[in-house]
Structure 1
């Protein structure tokens, strides 16, 4: 069996990413003729045309589309494996990390994380952006360093993850709400007027489906796009909000929180990042600080 040239894997990754021989050649600092020869070798090795002419451009074959993500992951794993591990001097480290987090995460965990980070690395800046969907484009293109969220089929398969903590949905009302003096049964909970946080793709814990199984339904009077807004409305009205417990711990101070009288499952919040940063010492250190800040508690 002929010895494989693993340099072709990097060429394949760039070609499939660019979809253009000239652009791929420029990115790899090769001549167009050298890139054309590399593409010819890839076609011979894989037994597939990979990129075929369509009008004035090239389009990937079905085999190339199927190979694209795997080729990228293999190249990034190899890069992380061969990258030298430099000694990390946190006292002189100057770097900005962008964290894309779900609603309530910054308010609950941000202060403790900032303290931990600045105690060891005063030159590090944290930039938090709100997570409004499950797309992982920011992790892939490098505009986001870390995300938090629930790992499911919407997450790109190459994304790395590490469990941070378990959470569950609870009910919340202002401290003088009538429900404070009421046994909280499914009927009592459903009979309240509700504000819910909802947006496309947000999992609300199957609350309404479980109520429907009991022949009950909520009177949803207001819909907002985040848990902090739902809690603000619940604080100033007689509406009941349903929110994640740990995610919103700091936002619920002074309010009445109660366990929902439904068989809801807990869910796991994970830390997400792209494999290109696996071997980055500073990124690895920040992942550790996040894990320490969000150390699991009993819920």
Structure 2
């Protein structure tokens, strides 16, 4: 394997054109620098510097190498140099955020406003999260993800809680159930939308209802919160959705407490550990936490 330290030695030798001058710059003895030159001649198969009177002159091969070695050495120094302080005003970068539907509509506007004010050169791309597959985070296709941590979450991912959420029932604003408290009887008499999805889903709603001796009457089955709430706006159907997560989708609709107990849950932010030390990524994580912490309160 080549000794990469020889690149720095070669760069200084070709720059100085003198063994003594190169030795002084590298804080080496003249004899040590002479040995380094001998090693470089052996590796390159070229004399590199030859005697011309009382000085040394570069060979054609040395002149060719001088144009190649300098940028390589400078690039290596840049890689090993300590990271400079993050300047958000000059940051130009795109981040990809993946979340279940409703998160972008609820928290996206405030997050975009903060990003635009602090780092106008940053672009956010929001993706809908169809599953709990960790490959997009692992392979760098996604920078941040939100969701519920469970047995299916990849163990190597970093995570921090964003907010607590709970399930609520939702009807249109002029629905009869919007006029007063919803009882177990009125809840059961109505027709419901069943939401089938991975991660946050309404299967646990039926499990909790059955545990309380109740059974929902399902009128239709859909695959997401957005579709369910769209149907609610123009029908007498009830949708059961996460309260805070879907706040941006529920404008103009009426939310109510369920007439049976369902365990609350925590929405977390996830990222790959290789991004821990990335200052720009850390800044974005802080913004997401701040935006979620500033959200509205849950129903009393």
SS in 1 for 2:219: strand
Query: Higher Cα Rg: structure 1 or 2?
Result: 2
Which of 88, 106, 109 aligns to 1:108? It is 106
Which of 273, 276, 289 aligns to 1:275? It is 273
Q: What is the RMSD of the two structures over their aligned residues, measured on CA atoms?
A: 1.7
SS in 1 for 2:240: strand
Which of 190, 210, 215 aligns to 1:192? It is 190
Structure 1 residue ranges (4+ consecutive) displaced by more than 6 angstroms after TM superposition: none
Q: Which moved more, 1:221-230 or 1:208-217?
A: 208-217
TM-score of the superposed pair, with normalisation by structure 2: 0.69
Structure-2 separation of matches of 1:83 and 1:181? 66
Distance 1:83 1:192, change over 3 A: farther
TM superposition shift of 1:210: 2.1
Structure-1 separation of matches of 2:172 and 2:246? 15
TM-score of the superposed pair, with normalisation by structure 1: 0.69
What per-residue deviation string (whole Å, max 9, x for no partner) do you get for residues 101-127 of structure 1? Answer: 111001010000000011010000000
SS in 1 for 2:193: strand
Q: Is the 8 A contact 2:148 2:200 kept in 1?
A: no
What per-residue deviation string (whole Å, max 9, x for no partner) do you get for residues 188-224 of structure 1? Answer: 2122101132124544372211221233211111111
Question: How many pairs were matched up?
Answer: 218
Q: What corresponds to 2:131 in structure 1?
A: 133
Matches within 5 A, 1:145-184: 145-181=143-179, 183-184=181-182
Unaligned runs of 5+ in 2: 1-79
TM superposition shift of 1:160: 0.2
SS in 2 for 1:111: helix
Q: What corresponds to 1:204 in structure 2?
A: 202
Structure-2 separation of matches of 1:145 and 1:215? 43
Structure-1 separation of matches of 2:180 and 2:216? 17
Q: Which moved more, 1:181-190 or 1:130-139?
A: 181-190
What per-residue deviation string (whole Å, max 9, x for no partner) do you get for residues 219-267 of structure 1? Answer: 1111111111110100111100101100111211111110111111111
